[in-house]
Amino acid sequence: MTELKGERSDGGSGTVGERSDGGSGTVGERSDGGSGTVGERSDGGSGTGLGRELGVAVLGMGTVGTEVVRILRDNADDLAARVGAPLAIRGIAVRDLAKDRGVDPALLTTDAEALVARDDVDIVVEVMGGIEPTRTVMLRALDAGKSVVTANKALLAEYTGELADASRRARADLYFEAAVAGAIPVIRPLQQSLAGDSVQLVAGIVNGTTNFILSAMAENGDDYEVALKEATRLGYAEADPTADVEGYDAAAKAAILASIAFHTRVKAADVYREGITGVSSADIASAKAFDCTIKLLAICERIIDGAGQPRVSARVYPALVPLKHPLASVDGAYNAVFVEAENAGRLMFYGQGAGGAPTASAVLGDLVMAARNKVHYGRGPLDSAYANLPIAQIGEVQTRYYVAMHVLDRPGVLSTVANEFSSRDVSISTVRQQTDHSEVGARLVILTHHAPDAALSATVEALNKLDVVTSVSSVLRLEGTNE
Amino acid sequence: MTELKGERSDGGSGTVGERSDGGSGTVGERSDGGSGTVGERSDGGSGTGLGRELGVAVLGMGTVGTEVVRILRDNADDLAARVGAPLAIRGIAVRDLAKDRGVDPALLTTDAEALVARDDVDIVVEVMGGIEPTRTVMLRALDAGKSVVTANKALLAEYTGELADASRRARADLYFEAAVAGAIPVIRPLQQSLAGDSVQLVAGIVNGTTNFILSAMAENGDDYEVALKEATRLGYAEADPTADVEGYDAAAKAAILASIAFHTRVKAADVYREGITGVSSADIASAKAFDCTIKLLAICERIIDGAGQPRVSARVYPALVPLKHPLASVDGAYNAVFVEAENAGRLMFYGQGAGGAPTASAVLGDLVMAARNKVHYGRGPLDSAYANLPIAQIGEVQTRYYVAMHVLDRPGVLSTVANEFSSRDVSISTVRQQTDHSEVGARLVILTHHAPDAALSATVEALNKLDVVTSVSSVLRLEGTNE
């Protein structure tokens, strides 16, 4: 059945560059179309006739890579039937050859670049992480016409443009569903399902470590440090938790989500970022009193600037979320992405955002798609950055605020404090005053209506200068309300 | 920039049939590749250079069709940039030409078949509904190489195989995200994101009418008839609500979901079906007492038969769902689809499952994808039915049960009743007995552990023959627990 066995030219890098050119050599076209036909016949029928084997290079064999290799082996028959051709691992790039990984040692190599360049490699699965040499290896792979599936959010948040351009030039696919929210389909829905809609807002709980910590704080009344220690003990936080708790991981994901949702290239550096280390158990308790919980949110929003023009705001920070909002009940290591679009309305995608098997599931979904495209001469999603909207500064973003402060317990304090808000057009929604046992004074918590971030910042600066204010202990946003 | 203006051969039906053949004419290949190049250049750059206009035929101008036409007009520039070519409506097939629809009357036609056959139509959007002549028109369109986007669940639940075969033969795309759960991406995640995983369970709230009615019953304590009347008044139920309340609509969606999730062709007739007309306010109250709510579920499950072989169970019925299950809080006209897969774990997709704009959003997403494929010579998802699993009968499905009955209020009744369960190996989990004010007797409600449906049916039959049982008033399943 596979008349073209061993003759397919599209696995080699030589003709790939030409295929993206409309007037390219007829030979390349013909051999491609031919292999497509083999797949056609196999997929529609009994599943017995398959196309020529496709070669897969796996870069990295950590938690995710190990699961990818396991699933490729355990589910080989199903995967072959779904692709229309068997998938064969040609090699696995690792750092340490000596470590026993339960795979044929002949597959292991430390030379990722040589592995992806092999003629019998059609698709590269990148789960090694890091910026370099990963970026160079991926570009080499794409330039050589190999499709790439990656889970590397940090790399994508910085170099999506470069990688997308390389993939387009070579007519090779670039898939990265696993880079954001693990097993939860969110890239594909934004990129494809909502391709005919106008996305207004993407708000995600996209970091399992911080969600575990904040959930534990809310559930047990733990302080941040206690909850972090528990997260580390259970393996939800790394030894150095900075990337998670300071919001860098979420910011990279926000950049990727914003880029897709708004057809604009957004990089991690464009994302305003605050971590959760400053969130206190007192904040969580106050949030509860306002019927809210606190979540680290990655928010991508289309806002209208002073001149009436659309801009993209991408920001990551801990925020109060009303308990009745769908995101409020996403607890523990679960992730969820909430989307508002002009016509679709409100959508939410929920599931496991991390872990070896869930992330590998997303990688395998992309791998099957990339492989099907090789068999059927299909085409994966294309980078779309035509809108090229300007990035909004945090100062022009409007949200509601939660401001907690310690004040002197004397008459007229509330009036003095309230004046600092109103004089900057920041309208107060709710005030709660509690006797503060730790100091001689009171704890004042204020919720505002929507106001520009710049006005709020100026207000906080002024509050800190007031004699009656001992300290502003916390400034958080309130998201998910329309008031 | 568009050197090939008016010369593209892939819009016409003549060469399309040949393109799926690998050894096809070079002319077709070349002209396709050329138009692809135009799109390539336009999409990556400033968005100013677009490929040749693509023609769209819209079949039907009801609630969804009207929104599709509106969005095509209002968002024309964005859609063109995303596709890489402008989309132009060539015609709209309607039944009544006289009705004012706010569009250029010259676009309207009653001849859908002639419309889809036009050389300048590349993509057909089918939102007219019904089985015939819709099926014939869609097959004509696909045979002529036109890609088809449809929201027609009833047609797909019966004829997916035939339509998919036609689309494969002609290398034309067949998209149908809008057919299940409106704006919620669920077809694409199952078909693509989970393509490398093994789906175990899909459990969906996929009918807004019944979910509105059951939510109203749970919230207000209303009887079914009262809640139905309110749903009709608010436009959530049609004048003849049979298709919704008897579960036919959900069964068609279950067939589509099961087909995709399990790579097996499942038709509506394969789906076991019960509606919600028998659900009483007493059932809802009893469910609450068990910390449950009642939802109409479309369940697609991979089960293992007595011989250890996998089978597909597809079933629709009202079921008790624990309040802590993510599906329990999906209220009103919202829809949600819960998925369990071997590696991805538990996922849920939530959003608006019906309505003009949300459904049109899903249609437009598919339309942009189909159009991009025309520009970039891509390929949409392919029907996959290789697994061809046998369909399980309802009798072999194991669930937990809720059985409510009226019994005589005399000693020994519970023991007699319990014996009928235990003698058929149906293990009882919880019993609640209430004095029944409406009759001389008591209301007995029993929750069982997991048991085969056949054993439960036999038990209920035996209960009905007991002198001490006045009547078995309700038999419902309990889903979403692992006990």
Q: Is the Cβ–Cβ distance between A366 and A378 less than 8 Å?
A: no
Per the CB < 8 Å rule, is B81 touching A26?
A: no
Cis peptide before A133 (omega within 30 of 0): yes
> Do residues A169 and A219 both lie within one domain?
no
Enumerate residues 6+ apart whose C-beta is below 8 A from A461: none
Q: Is residue B198 part of a domain?
A: yes
Any idea what the CATH number is for the domain that residue B446 is in? 3.30.70.260
Q: Is B253 a catalytic residue?
A: yes
Residue type, A127: V
CB within 8 A of B80, min separation 6: which ones? B50, B86, B87
Same domain as B146, residue B219: no
Instruction: Tell if the CB–CB gap between A343 and B67 is shorter than 8 Å.
Output: yes
Residues 6+ away with beta carbon under 8 Å from A331 = A211, A215, A219
List CB contacts (< 8 A) between A348 and chain B.
348-351
Count other Cβ atoms within 10 Å, centred on residue B479.
23
Q: Which of A177, A196, A326 sits opposite B71 (nearest CB)?
A: A196
Task: Say if A382 falls within a structural domain.
Answer: no
Between A and B, how many CB-CB pairs are < 8 A?
266
CB < 8 Å to A40, chain B: 20, 168
Boundary-marking domain end, from A325, A343, A376: A376
**A340 and A454 share a domain?**
no
Residue B336 C-alpha, separation from nearest chain A C-alpha, in angstroms:
9
Q: Nearest 5°: CA angle at B389, between B383 and B393?
A: 125
Nearest CA in chain B to A168: B40
- What is the per-residue pLDDT for B40? 41
CB-based contact A361 B40, cutoff 8 Å: no
Q: Are residue B222 and residue B332 in the same domain, yes or no?
A: yes
Same domain, A33 and A159: yes
Phi, psi dihedrals of residue A203, rounded to the nearest 5°: -130, 115
With contact defined as beta carbons under 8 Å apart, do B243 and B129 qualify?
A: no
For residue B349, how far is the Cα from the chain centroid? 13
In a domain, A172, yes or no: yes
Condensed to tens digits (0 to 9), the pLDDT of residues B309-359 reads: 999 999 999 999 999 898 998 988 799 999 999 999 999 999 998 889 999
The verdict on A247 and A300 lying in the same domain is yes
How far apart are the CA of B423 and the nearest CA of chain A, in angstroms? Answer: 41
| Together in a domain, A259 and A320 | yes
Q: Residue B97's domain is classified under what CATH number?
A: 3.40.50.720
Indicate whether B3 belongs to any domain: no
pLDDT given at position B224: 96
User: Which whole-number Å values give the CA distances from A467 to A100, A268, A415, in the listed order?
Assistant: 65, 39, 13
Question: Residue B30 and residue B51: Cα distance in Å, rounded?
Answer: 16
Compare all CA atoms of chain A with the CA of B353 and give the residue at the minimum distance: A344
CB contact under 8 A, A37 and B21: yes
What are the tokens at A354?
């991390």
Name the percent of chain B in helix, strand, coil, to the closest 5: 40, 25, 35
Number of domains in chain A: 3
Query: Residues 6 or more apart from B154 whose CB is under 8 A from it?
Result: B129, B130, B131, B252, B268
> How many secondary structure helices (H) and strands (E) does chain A include?
16, 17
Contact B349 A344 (CB under 8 A): no
**What is the mean predicted confidence (pLDDT) over B111-121?**
97
In-domain check, residue B193 = yes
Whether B70 contacts B62, CB under 8 Å: no
Q: What is the mean pLDDT of chain B?
A: 88
The answer to whether residue B388 sits within a structural domain is no
Question: Do the domain assignments include residue A61?
Answer: yes
- pLDDT value of position B376: 87
Confidence at residue B238, expressed as pLDDT on a 0 to 100 scale: 92
| pLDDT tens digits along B165-183 | 999 999 999 999 999 999 9
Put simply, the answer to whether A78 touches B387 (Cβ < 8 Å) is yes
With the CA atoms of B359, B365, B366 and B369 taken in that order, what torsion angle do they form, in degrees rounded to the nearest 10?
A: 180
DSSP-derived 3-state class of residue A43: helix
Q: Helices in B171-247 by DSSP H: which ranges?
A: 187-188, 208-220, 224-233, 242-245
Mutation target to probe the A interface, by most A beta carbons within 10 A, among B264, B302, B343 is B343
Q: What letter would DSSP give residue B392?
A: P
The answer to whether residues A60 and A75 belong to one domain is: yes
Interface contact B24-A33, CB threshold 8 A: yes
Determine the pLDDT at residue A439. 60
The answer to the question of residue B6 being in a domain is no
Last residue of a domain, one of B352, B386, B420: B352
Model confidence at B36: pLDDT above 80: no
In chain A, the residue whose alpha carbon lies closest to the alpha carbon of B380 is A378
Question: Are B163 and B28 within one domain?
Answer: yes
First to last CA, chain A: 65
B344, B367, B378: residue with CB nearest A352: B344
Contact A349 B347 (CB under 8 A): yes
Q: A220 lies in which domain range?
A: 187-351
Residues B361 and B293 in one domain: no
DSSP class of residue B193?
A: I
* Selected catalytic residue, list B253, B267, B295, B374: B253
Which residues in chain B touch residue A29, judged by CB atoms under 8 angstroms apart? 26, 29-30, 33
* Interface mutation vs chain B, best among A68, A125, A193, most B CBs within 10 Å: A193
Residues A306 and A361 reside in one and the same domain? no
Does pLDDT of B391 surpass 70? yes
Spell out which residues of chain A touch residue B347, defining contact as CB-CB under 8 Å.
183-185, 349-352
> CB–CB of A82 and B195 under 8 A?
yes
- Which residue from B29, B345, B364 is facing A351, i.e. has the nearest CB? B345
d(CA B324, CA A153): 33
Residue B483 has a pLDDT of 60
Q: Which chain B residues are closer than 8 Å to A46 by Cβ?
A: 386, 388
- Closest partner residue to A79 among B78, B196, B376, by Cβ? B196
- Mutation test of the interface with chain B: which of A168, A262, A386, choosing the one with the most B Cβ atoms within 10 A? A386
Q: Are residues B178 and B80 in the same domain?
A: yes
- Catalytic residues of A, by residue number, are 253
Q: What is the SS3 string spanning A390-450?
A: CECCHHHCEEEEEEEEEECCCCCHHHHHHHHHHCCCCCEEEEEEEECCCCCCEEEEEEECC
The pLDDT value given to residue A268: 96
- Min Cα distance B134 → chain A (Å) is 24
Could you check whether the bond before residue A390 is cis, i.e. omega within 30 degrees of 0? no
Spans in chain A with pLDDT lower than 70: 1-48, 436-440, 483
Q: How close, in Å, is residue A297 to chain B by CA atoms?
A: 19
